[in-house]
Structure 1
Amino acid sequence: MSSGRTALARHIVRLIEETGPIPLSQYMALALGHLEHGYYMTRDPLGMRGDFITAPEISQMFGELIGLWLADSWMAQGAPKSFVLAELGPGRGTLMSDALRAMRAVPDMVAAAEVHFVETSPVLRKAQKDLVPQAIWHDRIDSLPDRPLFLVANEFFDAMPIIQYQRTGRGWCERQIGLTDGRLSPVLAPVPLAGDKGLPPAMRDAPSGAIAEICPAATAIAETISSRISASGGAALIVDYGHLRSAPGDTLQALRGHQYVDPFDTPGEADLTAHVDFEMLALAVRDGGAQAHGPVEQGAFLAALGIEARAARLREKATGSQARDIDAALRRLTAPGEMGSLFKVLAVTPQGAAAPAGFV
């Protein structure tokens, strides 16, 4: 498939021809967020007709349990009378809609909540308005109000632009995006890093050829969330696929039509993601002054919150076909080898707070 097939690919090729290879982080930012041709700017990527499906779209149980977790955290901090209930990258708004429904069982919580979404996609904002019309929208986390913050980020950090380095005989060289026979492809910067202080410690003894990934955008946002919660109170829950500990490896991937494709073939037409380094996120949380809990596997977290009991309640009023769907969703969300072990969960609370539900 030609790298010039998409309008965005032609734009990126011209940019490289004029200025030379560009950082992978810049390539990802353009592929996902270019105002005219970026992947998230032009489509609703979710569901069977899209490119991938997220946990809230698999079953209402996921959002309901997240809502109850937030309610438990809100009560543990004295049930503040006015607070920011925020979601980063809220998809269609399904998770928040389900969470709010669960929160209505908790007296006064929904009335005290002011819902805020951090979302840049105009297409997804429209879908979110249909499900959660009371929400207030932001382009960046920095503009969230300064009040107690109860926040969820589900499959948000995996789309943050990453930087990659490859170990060579000359040291760590940045992997950039250049042109090979007219096609977009990774190339190595000619000048290596002056040192390896910017890399996680686990990368420093990696063998020649190893690839190290860092995500400054993700750690900056995690530190911002942490400093907000440290200063004003609240709690946050980060759910994503990734690894518990920092380790070398190339995790960049592209999805189109629920199939893996070459990340450089059709920029703007495929979802680009990378595995989240939860060890680095936890360190960023601590740097921001709050307390990090976990990460734990999603299956264990949802089991601790009572997903089996919730599934049993739903089955009581289900038809045979609906009961089979509930069982299939439960397996997908919690089973080892599926989302249950692939996805991890990290919680953020003020220093000194007791371990929240699912992390005891």
Structure 2
Amino acid sequence: MSRASIRSLTRQHIPYIRKNSPTIPCRYQSTSTLPNSSPSTTSPSVPAVKENELAKIIRDTIKSTGPIPISRYMQFCLSHPTYGYYQKGDVFGEKGDFITSPEISQIFGELVAIWFLTRWMESGSPKKVRLVELGPGRGTLMDDILRTLFSFPGVSEAVQSIHLVENSEALRNVQGTKLSQRLDRKDVDLNWYTGINEVPETEDTYTFVVAHEFFDAMPINTFEKTDMGWREVQVDNDPAYTPGLSTQSSKSGLRLSISPSPTPLSTVLPATSPRFAKLSKGSRIEVAQDSFKIMRRIGELLGNKGKNAASGAGAASGGCGVVVDYGGDRSYGQSFRAFKNHKIVDIFDDPGNADLTANVDFAYLRESLDSTGSSALGPISQSSFLLSLGLQPRLKKLIDSATNENRKEDIRKSAQRLIDPLGMGGQYQVMGITSDSDSGKTTTTKEEIYPFITPKPQSQVLQPQSQSKVLKP
């Protein structure tokens, strides 16, 4: 599909306009190194403070079994059945700890849907379609995608089912309330799963997969390359900590330490990518083994593990996916951080009451797709993705539809946040995924798919000013 065709899709249909987009700080804002877990400067003589119950559980675990991997600490903090962060309900938006692109502007979800639509059309407009989302949050992104797809005949009738991978019962209720309104009077099944492995395989349905700010929350393990080989960075008890007192030690009595000897994880995970072996001594790497497994499973779902699609009129398999997250096409060593009330806090300040996150190694995700029948596209910046798919004409239509100047300005500012090269537009990366049968891959070549294309070399010949084109922002 040509660029002009893609952009024309954004000028029609999709009449909805989101109101009152918040303008608060976002989780994406930091690309800083590991927040310092060194002693605070609080006076040792201050009154006793309320002890964090989850921190006590973690300290008792370490006391019994020894230092734990960072991944185990993250699981405690995010998924503990009583004190876990994601068990406490709605953590998104202005009243939560961070805000995401779909909550800022409806344009984000609309353009993801437009890319799905173009792939569906290029694949022969299969008669059966399903949507899979990992970490659906409030359901806002899926709602925007569905609203957009339902405005186009053909694909609207093809949507058969929605599959949401979500652990939190509280968030499932939020998602169900929102999406049930969108699916009212439509014969579309709505399903929830606790893991991607539960999503059923299919041989006659085209699959759309989206994972927005999902992989950044996957547990990581951190390793340091030493003269003696890889050593694991672990979570340990702070011997200077006094329960119930705010002192110069960690508020929760926890700290990072390096294992003096190899651990089972340090002997396995650094060997999962050939890139890690090339790093110099003293380097640290953050490895998310769950991300590798989950991305590989996505690739298998889209690639059908090499199975043949069912025969018959309109039958099709395969599909495409979009992964959006902050990070880059490389490994990171010190991106692990915590967010609370839209600000970066110490990773040990308040376990269970702050979001924990780390940058995504997109190269690692791409490596996981090997031999799954699927391939990665990109990554490219969020700004490039959205602008290429028609953000500007869609923005103009929304502004023209707004009823007053204040609303017009809110819409414009929200869209600008999505593409700001110093903010979301540059820090977030977008990776596409396609089944090899859908992408034209052969044993030696693969067709480039818009907008995940390699820029052509620019001519070094200066053109006269009168002949050059001036691009307006």
TM-score computed with the length of structure 1 as normaliser: 0.95
Describe how 1:114-193 pairs up with structure 2 within 5 A. 114-133=161-180, 135-147=190-202, 148-180=206-238, 181-182=240-241, 183-192=253-262, 193=266
Whether the aligned pair in 2 keeps the contact of 1:196 and 1:204 (CA below 8 Å) is no
Equivalent residue runs for 1:40-51 within 5 Å: 40-51=86-97
Aligned AA for 2:436?
Q
Contact in 1 for aligned 2:269/2:287 (Cα 8 Å): no
1:358 aligns with 2:451: yes
| Per-residue deviation, 1:275 | 0.3
Q: How much is the aligned-residue C-alpha RMSD, in angstroms?
A: 1.9
Q: In the aligned structure 1, how far is the partner of 2:391 from the partner of 2:136?
A: 21
Write the distance in 2 (CA, Å) between the matches of 1:161 and 1:356. 31
How far, CA to CA, are the matches of 1:3 and 1:283 in structure 2? 47
- Alignment CA distance shift 1:3-1:10 (3 Å): farther
1:74–1:195 Cα change, 3 Å: closer
Q: Is the 8 A contact 1:158 1:240 kept in 2?
A: yes
Amino acid at match of 2:433: V
Q: Choose the corresponding residue for 1:243, options 316, 324, 328.
A: 328
Kept in 1, the 8 Å contact 2:338–2:346? The answer is yes
The one of 339, 345, 348 aligned to 2:430: 345
Q: Distance in 2 between matches of 1:35 and 1:141?
A: 20
Q: Is the 8 A contact 1:176 1:189 kept in 2?
A: yes
Instruction: State the Cα distance separating 1:276 from its structure 2 match.
Output: 0.3
Structure 1 position 275 matched with structure 2 position 365:
no
User: Is it true that 1:293 corresponds to 2:363 in the alignment?
Assistant: no
Deviation at 1:271, TM superposition (A): 0.3
Q: How many pairs were matched up? A: 359
Q: Tell me which stretches of 4 or more aligned residues in structure 1 moved more than 4 Å.
A: 1-4, 193-197
Matching residue within 223, 234, 256 for 2:296 = 223
Amino acid at match of 2:301: R
Instruction: Give the whole-Å Cα distance in 1 for the aligned partners of 2:391 and 2:137.
Output: 22
Contact conserved, 2:54 with 2:83, CA < 8 A, in 1? yes
- SS of 1:153 mapped into structure 2: strand
Query: Is 1:84–1:145's contact at 8 Å kept on the other side of the alignment?
Result: no
1:325-344 equivalences under 5 Å are 325-344=410-429
Check conservation: 2:270, 2:287, Cα contact below 8 A.
no
Which of residues 149, 160, 165 in structure 2 aligns to 1:103?
A: 149
Aligned match for 1:5, one of 48, 51, 72: 51
1:133-158 deviation digits (Å, cap 9, x = unpaired): 25211111111122232110000000
Paired residue type of 1:212: I
Q: Which residue of 1 aligns with 2:277?
A: 204
Shift of 1:123: 1.7
- Residue 81 and residue 196 in structure 1: after superposition, are their counterparts in 2 closer, same or farther (change >3 A)? closer
Q: How many angstroms does 1:191 deviate by?
A: 1.0
Report the structure number with the largest CA radius of gyration.
2
- Seen in structure 2, the aligned counterparts of structure 1 residues 152 and 179 have a Cα distance that, compared at 3 Å, is same
Shift of residue 256, structure 1, vs aligned partner: 0.1
Using the TM superposition, name which of 212-221 and 71-80 deviates more. Answer: 71-80
Q: What amino acid does structure 2 have at the position aligned with 1:131? A: K
Which runs of 5 or more residues in structure 1 are unaligned? Answer: none
Pick aligned residue for 2:67 from 11, 21, 27: 21
Contact 1:87 1:117 (C-alpha < 8 Å) held by counterparts = yes
| C-alpha contact 2:269 2:289 (8 A) present in aligned 1 | no
- AA in 2 matched with 1:188: I
Select between 250-259 and 209-218 the one with higher mean Cα deviation: 209-218
2:20 equivalent in structure 1: none
2:112 paired residue among 43, 51, 66: 66
Contact 1:293–1:346 under 8 Å retained in 2: yes
Q: Distance in 2 between matches of 1:13 and 1:196?
A: 25
Deviations 1:6-46 (A, max 9, x none): 22111111111111111111111111111111101112111
SS across alignment from 1:198: helix
Give, as a single letter, the amino acid of the residue that structure 1 aligns with 2:349.
D
For 1:153, give the aligned amino acid. Answer: A
Counterpart amino acid of residue 224 in structure 1: R
Does the 8 Å CA contact 1:4/1:10 hold for their aligned counterparts? no
Deviations 1:81-104 (A, max 9, x none): 223211110110001111111112
CA distance in 2, matches of 1:67, 1:33: 30
